[in-house]
Structure 1
Amino acid sequence: MASSNSSVPPIMTIDPSNTLYLHPSDHPGIILVSKFFDDAGLVAWKRVMTITLSAKNKHRFINNTLTMLNNEQQLAVWQRCNDMVILLILNTLTRDTSDSVLYAKTAQILWKELNSHYGQANDAKFYQLQKKPLSNHSRKQ
């Protein structure tokens, strides 16, 4: 007598406008941006990544507006999407940078770690770069 497998959950249909929807073209090796982060230029890289994640409807994974879901099936879908967002980010980092944040459990934690590791130094460099043209300009006068 054939037994039915009751441990397999029913397929969950997700609307394409839902943050948890993954398009069939989304895959672990996908690289969506040409701006790679190499420990410099964090501000520009973050802007490109923010636009990219927003276009993919995944920005909520990094901006603290999407929480883990409570039932097992929803949690599995959330985890799958979170992992895809982590891969989207990791695929734009150099190896050394990637290694420094590789073990972040969520995309949000990874995003925060990048900011804490590289944000302060980059903010200081960004400030210096903005200040340089002004001082050069004032010397010419």
Structure 2
Amino acid sequence: MSTDIKIGISSPCYLGSGDQPSNLITHVILKPDNYVAWSRAITLSLKARRKFVFINRTLAKPMDSTIVLDWDTVNSMIISWILQGIHPKVVESIPFHDNAKQLWDYLESRFCISIGPRIQQLPAPIADCHQIISMFVEYFYNKLAGLYYELNRLNPLHVYSCGKCSCDVVSKFTADRREEIFHQFLLGIDDDYYSGVRSILLSQVPPVNLDRAYQEFTQEERARNIARERVVKEENHAFALQAPHSPDGRIDGSDKTKLVCRYCKQMGHEQSSCFELYGYPAWYLERRHRSRAG
């Protein structure tokens, strides 16, 4: 390729105006304990950009000097993207690599736990995966699905390689794994809120699948949240009628430090807006999760 030929948008060496070294191409940040989830997110993002060929060596560094500059440019961009997706404290300990594939292999060898021990460890967190108080159904589902994804990656289902099997054993193994996740999902769901929905799902004939169960639980969660919001609005309205007013007619509620919740006994809010009573919003759970992981 001569230097005056424009690189097509379908080429792996194409970079658009929005492709910058500082881009964060995935919101999953690599830490010492989440390599599998991070590598999956980075892989999908690079494939969406037609750049994963730099990682799996499908597109090796060319010998032609007329195109090697384009390859080097994209290779350096991928290295920047990968480093942007790593926690700053971890990045400080990573040695310099000028080849994206070499950096990828280094990260896998360092952070991907040995297959044998990890396969032995995974059943325990899967069995212990439960929806705790104030955890949304979606967050619980994603956590359980992530554990099974790691299990499938390290211990994939058996497939036939002879090319003569006609019983479709692969789909049967896949169905068995999906049913296993389905029952684990039902076991881990919160009994206090969703035992009724779970009983209905288990009694249906033919049995429902995992996707249908997830939809039913999220719909029930949404209905509960709507009911909670209605209660909050009614209590706020009642409070507005009873609350003392300032001389100019406005409700005197600016000083929240004097408020005490009748439910959790904590200061700074009222029972009508108590997260512990009505559920924690997504932004609060995400912020608390980041602070603990941080």
Task: Note whether the superposition's TM-score is higher than 0.5.
Answer: yes
Q: AA paired with 1:131?
A: A
1:35 alignment partner, SS class: coil
Once the two structures are superposed, residues 66-113 of structure 1 have per-residue CA deviations (whole angstroms, 9 ceiling, x without a partner) of 111112231111000000000110000012322333411211000000
Aligned to 2:66: 73
- Does residue 37 (structure 1) correspond to residue 52 (structure 2)? The answer is no
Inter-partner Cα distance in structure 2 for 1:49 and 1:94: 14
1:25-104 matches, cutoff 5 A: 25-104=18-97
- CA shift in 2, pair 1:44/1:80, >3 Å: same
The alignment covers a number of residue pairs equal to: 129
Is the 1:42–1:122 Cα contact (8 Å) retained in structure 2? no
- CA shift in 2, pair 1:52/1:126, >3 Å: farther
Q: CA deviation at 1:124?
A: 4.2
- CA shift in 2, pair 1:114/1:126, >3 Å: farther
- CA shift in 2, pair 1:110/1:19, >3 Å: same
Inter-partner Cα distance in structure 1 for 2:116 and 2:28: 18
Inter-partner Cα distance in structure 2 for 1:63 and 1:24: 25
TM (normalized to structure 1)?
Answer: 0.79
Unpaired stretches in structure 1, ≥5 consecutive residues: 1-8
Percentage of matched positions with identical amino acids: 26
The root-mean-square deviation of aligned C-alpha atoms, in Å, is 2.5
Q: CA deviation at 1:11?
A: 3.0
1:24 alignment partner, SS class: coil
Greater relative contact order structure (CA < 8 Å, 6+ sep): 1
1:114 alignment partner, SS class: helix
Find the structure with the greater CA-based Rg.
2
TM (normalized to structure 2)?
Answer: 0.40
